[in-house]
Amino acid sequence: MPYVQVGKENTGSVELYYEDRGSGAPIVLIHGYPLTGASWERQVPSLLESNHRVITYDRRGFGRSSQPASGYNYDTFASDLHELLGHLKLKEFALAGFSMGGGEVARYIGRYGSKGVTHAIFLSSVPPYLRKAADNPEGVDGGVFDGIGKAITADRYAFFTAFYRDFYNADVNLGKRVSEEVLRMSWNVAAGSSAIASLACVPTWGEDFRQDLARVDVPALVMHGDSDRIVPFAAAGARTAKLVKGARLVVVKDGPHAIIWTHPEIVNPELVKFLGT
């Protein structure tokens, strides 16, 4: 299995697990919380069929990557991505981030610039600034993040059960766009994540990415469900599309947070079409 070393912790290496498939124009898919690179399974075949080299990886603390005690912040996540790109010797590549992964796309460009980046894609993503502040009244009240942290601390396994109901809008989509088995699979993946990472990632969702988005000067696609209960469309996708000059906005009607699973018939053609521009 392929790994790239991105750091050290005491006597051990911090490594990211990745998969690199196909040939053609590369696209790097960055997963959401608390999943892994495997969560893109409904997009990978379409991208391979449209002649793309598809790279997925597990964020530190999740899946088959290392589970260190630190490094759960977007500067480090962007650095990890930078190390992976260098390891793969990619010269031109698209970046696509789902949910938390959209923060990596924004922070990577904010820190390293857009050299080599051909397209920037934000799917149900946390930018531009999810936490409410004096200069960000459109954000979500900070008490929401505090409540999530307390729930994870009390019983992260019970939290994951409740979280995924809203992740997929199960009350509406169960038996139609998502199955009990998918909910169970998602829970199992989350349960295998680092207990430290599952808590430490929560505050990062409210990070301010506005300056990072100001540096996005490549074609950008923003896709978001208008029924997203995890990352509200009005607070996130709608504003990101306005802040990134020339961004294409696709609103998925009745789409929950997990549009990459529930609405592949919309997401996949939009991705392939956008990458062809």
Contact (Cβ atoms closer than 8 angstroms) between residue 74 and residue 207: yes
Residue with tokens 């449209």: 50
Q: In whole angstroms, give the CA distance from residue 165 to residue 155.
A: 16
8-state DSSP, 178: B
CA atoms within 13 Å, Cβ hemisphere of 185: 11
The whole-model pTM stands at 0.97
pLDDT at 163: 98
Strand partners, 4: 16
Regions of the chain where pLDDT drops below 50: none
Query: Would you tell me the crossing angle of helices 74-88 and 100-112 to the nearest 10 degrees?
Result: 70
pLDDT at 214: 97
pLDDT at 277: 78
- At residue 217, the 3 state secondary structure works out as coil
Backbone dihedral angles phi then psi of residue 132, each to the nearest 5 degrees: -65, 135
Query: The domain containing residue 262 runs over which residues?
Result: 3-275
Q: In whole angstroms, give the CA distance from residue 157 to residue 178.
A: 20
Supply the residues annotated as catalytic. Answer: 99, 228, 257
**Residue 276: other Cβ atoms inside 10 A:** 11
Contact (Cβ atoms closer than 8 angstroms) between residue 168 and residue 182: yes
Whichever domain contains 264, its CATH number is 3.40.50.1820
8-state DSSP, 204: G
Would you mind telling me the total number of residues written for the chain in this entry? Answer: 277
pLDDT at 112: 98
Structurally, the chain folds into a number of domains equal to: 1
Contact (Cβ atoms closer than 8 angstroms) between residue 260 and residue 232: no
8-state DSSP, 208: B
